[in-house]
C-alpha cells in the first residue's frame, strides 16, 4: 500500500542536485516534519516532569540525572550502528521502526508510575527511547541531505530539526499543565498517544530516499566516522547539547524556586515548561533562519560563529537572572543560539561528507551530541548542589567559545580556508 502511495521519487537516489526538483524536495521534507513534530510533542509532554522525579519518587539528584541521561547514553551506543544501517538499507525502515520503539518507551513511563521499583522502569524506558531516537535522527538528517543541494541544504536541515522542536514546546506547556491539573500519569498517557500518532504518520508518509550500501558490512557501536569534518562538527555539537539540554533543561525546574521566579502563578514544573517552551520556540524559528542565511551567504562558518556567540551571551544573562523578564531574555538568547547553530552545522557536515558516508557521519555527529546531552545532567545537577547555579551557568557560557576555536581549526584543516564556500 505504502509503495503505491509513494513510488520511488525520481532523483531521490542520493542525488544532491535536489531530488525530483523543488517540489519533490518539499514533499519529502514535509512528510518528515509531520512525523517528527508528533514525536517531539510526545517528548515535550514528559520533560517538565522528569527533572522533578526526586520530589515525586523520593530519589537522589544523582539518580534523577541518570534517568534523564539514560536515553542519551543508550543512543550513544546506537547512533553509529543507526548511521551505518541507513547507508545499508535506506531511510524508510529505520525511521518507522525508530518511531514505534519510541512509542513503546513512552508507554513505559506510565508503567513506571504504577509498578514497583519505578526508577528501574524509568531507566529502561529511557534506554528504549534512546535507541528509537537514534534511528529517527540518523534517518531524518540523511533524508534532508539526500534531497538537497548546496543552495537548499541549510534551510532543509533547519526545517527537519525544527520539526521536532515545533512539537516539543507545545508538549512542554501541555506536560506542565496536565501534570499540575491531572497528575503525572495523565501527562505520561498523553505523551504515549502522541508518540504512536508519530509512528502512524511515519508509516503512511515517509518514502525511501537513500541508495542502499554494502549489505555485508557489519554494524558496530564503535563504527564512527573519524574524518576531520565529522570530528569537528561533532565537537561543536557536543558543546551545544551539553549546555542546552544537559545543563539548562535539567536545572531550570530547580533554579526557579531557588530564585523565586514563576510563570502565570504555576508551580516549578508548570513554570519550567513555559520557560522551556519559550526557549524551544525561539530555537525552532532560528533553525530555519540560520540554515537559510548560511545558504544565501554561501558559507556556513560566519553564521555558526554568530550563533555560538549568542549562546554564550544567553548563559551569561542566565547566571544573573533574578526576575521573569531577565529569565525570558536569557532563554531567548540561548534558544536563538542553539537553533541558529543547528541548521548550518548539519549542512556543513553534508557539504564536507561524501554521499555514501552521510548516514555514518550523521550517526557520529549524534554520538557527540548525546555525550554532551548525557553528561550534562550527570555533571550539572550534583555540581549545582555543591556550588550553586551561577558558577555552572558561567561555565556553560565558556563552552560555545571553546567550540568556536575547534570549528575554525577543523574547517581550516579540511578545506584550507577559514570561511569555505558552500560548494567546494
| Cell numbers for 249 | 533543561
- Residues 7/10/13/15 CA torsion (nearest 10 deg): -150
DSSP state of 416: S
Q: Quickly count helices (H) and strands (E) in the chain.
A: 15, 0
Q: Quick check: 114 pLDDT over 90?
A: no
Between 103 and 6, where is the model more confident?
103
| Cell numbers for 338 | 542553539
Assess contact for 349 and 362: CB atoms under 8 A: yes
Assess contact for 330 and 105: CB atoms under 8 A: no
Query: Percent of the chain, pLDDT > 90?
Result: 30
Closest CA to 352 of 231, 209, 224, 239: 231
The mean per-residue pLDDT over the stretch 14-20 comes to 40
Q: pLDDT of 208-234, one tens digit each?
A: 776 554 444 444 555 667 899 999 999
Closest CA to 322 of 377, 382, 383, 393: 393
The mean per-residue pLDDT over the stretch 7-28 comes to 47
Question: How many whole angstroms separate alpha carbon 48 and alpha carbon 248?
Answer: 12
Q: Which domains does the chain have, with CATH numbers?
A: 20-209+221-415 (1.20.1250.20)
Q: pLDDT of 53-65, one tens digit each?
A: 777 777 777 787 7
Q: pLDDT of 283-339, one tens digit each?
A: 888 988 998 899 888 789 999 999 999 999 999 999 999 999 999 999 999 999 999
pLDDT bracket for residue 77 (50, 70, 90): confident
Amino acid at each position: 500500500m505504502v509503495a503505491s502511495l509513494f513510488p520511488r521519487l525520481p532523483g531521490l537516489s542520493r542525488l544532491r542536485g535536489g531530488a525530483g526538483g523543488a517540489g519533490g524536495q518539499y514533499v519529502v521534507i514535509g512528510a518528515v516534519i509531520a512525523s517528527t513534530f508528533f514525536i517531539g510533542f510526545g517528548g515535550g509532554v514528559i520533560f517538565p516532569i522528569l527533572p522533578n522525579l526526586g520530589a515525586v519518587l523520593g530519589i537522589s539528584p544523582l539518580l534523577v540525572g541518570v534517568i534523564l541521561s539514560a536515553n542519551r547514553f543508550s543512543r550513544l551506543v546506537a547512533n553509529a550502528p543507526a548511521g551505518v544501517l541507513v547507508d545499508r538499507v535506506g531511510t524508510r525502515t529505520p525511521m518507522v521502526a525508530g518511531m514505534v520503539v519510541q512509542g513503546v518507551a513512552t508507554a513505559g513511563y506510565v508503567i513506571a508510575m504504577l509498578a514497583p521499583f519505578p526508577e528501574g522502569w524509568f531507566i529502561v524506558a529511557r534506554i528504549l527511547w534512546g535507541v528509537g531516537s537514534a534511528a529517527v535522527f540518523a534517518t531524518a538528517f540523511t533524508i534532508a541531505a539526500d534531497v538537497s543541494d548546496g543552495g537548499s541544504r541549510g534551510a532543509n536541515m533547519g526545517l527537519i530539526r525544527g520539526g521536532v522542536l515545533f512539537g516539543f514546546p507545545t508538549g512542554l506547556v501541555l506536560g506542565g499543565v496536565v501534570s499540575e491539573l491531572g497528575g503525572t500519569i495523565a501527562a505520561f498517557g498523553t505523551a504515549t498517544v502522541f508518540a504512536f500518532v508519530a509512528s502512524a504518520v511515519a508509516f503512511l508518509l515517509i518514502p525511501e530516499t537513500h541508495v542502499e550500501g554494502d549489505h555485508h558490512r557489519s554494524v558496530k557501536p564503535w563504527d564512527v566516522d573519524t574524518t576531520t569534518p565529522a570530528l569537528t562538527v561533532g565537537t561543536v555539537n557536543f558543546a551545544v547539547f551539553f549546555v542546552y539540554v544537559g545543563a539548562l533543561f535539567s536545572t531550570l525546574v530547580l533554579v526557579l524556586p531557588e530564585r523565586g521566579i514563576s510563570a502565570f502563578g504555576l508551580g516549578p514544573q508548570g513554570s519550567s515548561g513555559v520557560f522551556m517552551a519559550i526557549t524551544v520556540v525561539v530555537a525552532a524559528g532560528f533553525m530555519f533562519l540560520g540554515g537559510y542565511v548560511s545558504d544565501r551567504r554561501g558559507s556556513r562558518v560566519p553564521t555558526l560563529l554568530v550563533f555560538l556567540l549568542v549562546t554564550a551571551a544567553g548563559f551569561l544573562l542566565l547566571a544573573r537572572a533574578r526576575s521573569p523578564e531577565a529569565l525570558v531574555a536569557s532563554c531567548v538568547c540561548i534558544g536563538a543560539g542553539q537553533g541558529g547553530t543547528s541548521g548550518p552545522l548539519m549542512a556543513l557536515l553534508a557539504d564536507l561528507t561524501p554521499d555514501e558516508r552521510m548516514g555514518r557521519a550523521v550517526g557520529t555527529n549524534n554520538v557527540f551530541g548525546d555525550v554532551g546531552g548525557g553528561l550534562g545532567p550527570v555533571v550539572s545537577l550534583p555540581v549545582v548542589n555543591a556550588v550553586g547555579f551561577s558558577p555552572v551557568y558561567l561555565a556553560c557560557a565558556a563552552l560555545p567559545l571553546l567550540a568556536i576555536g575547534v570549528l575554525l581549526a577543523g574547517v581550516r584543516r579540511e578545506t584550507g580556508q577559514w570561511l569555505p564556500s558552500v560548494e567546494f
